[in-house]
Amino acid sequence: WGLKTLAYPILKQDRGYYYLAYVNLPASAVKDLYYFFRVTDGFLRAMIVKKVEKKVESAPKEPEVKEEQASEPEEVQENV
């Protein structure tokens, strides 16, 4: 994303570089990566999130409506 103005000052800095990276890591490596971000002076903040894959079920197909049925208005009976 590049150099951006921070939402609030962090360590007396009001601008910083934002990076976004997609990585595939084993669960054991996430803790080590976060530790690396914390101890490295070049990082003001770091956030690691897990992407959850959602299973999408296909929607049931609706029955097709014939053009003749769709164009005719329905008759309504009124009781007075």
25-75 pLDDT per residue, tens = 888 888 898 888 888 887 878 878 888 888 877 777 777 666 655 555 566
Residue 70 lies in a domain: no
Give the pLDDT score at 43: 80
User: Going by C-beta distance under 8 Å and a sequence separation of 6 or more, which residues neighbour residue 19?
Assistant: 1
pTM over 0.85, yes/no = no
Number of domains in the chain: 1
Domain region containing 32: 23-50
Is residue 19 over pLDDT 70?
yes
Residue 56 lies in a domain: no
> Per-residue confidence at 76, pLDDT binned at 50, 70, 90?
low
Residue 32 lies in a domain: yes
Residue 75 lies in a domain: no
Q: Where are the beta strands (DSSP E) in 1-80?
A: 2-10, 13-18
Residue 3 lies in a domain: no
Residue 36 lies in a domain: yes
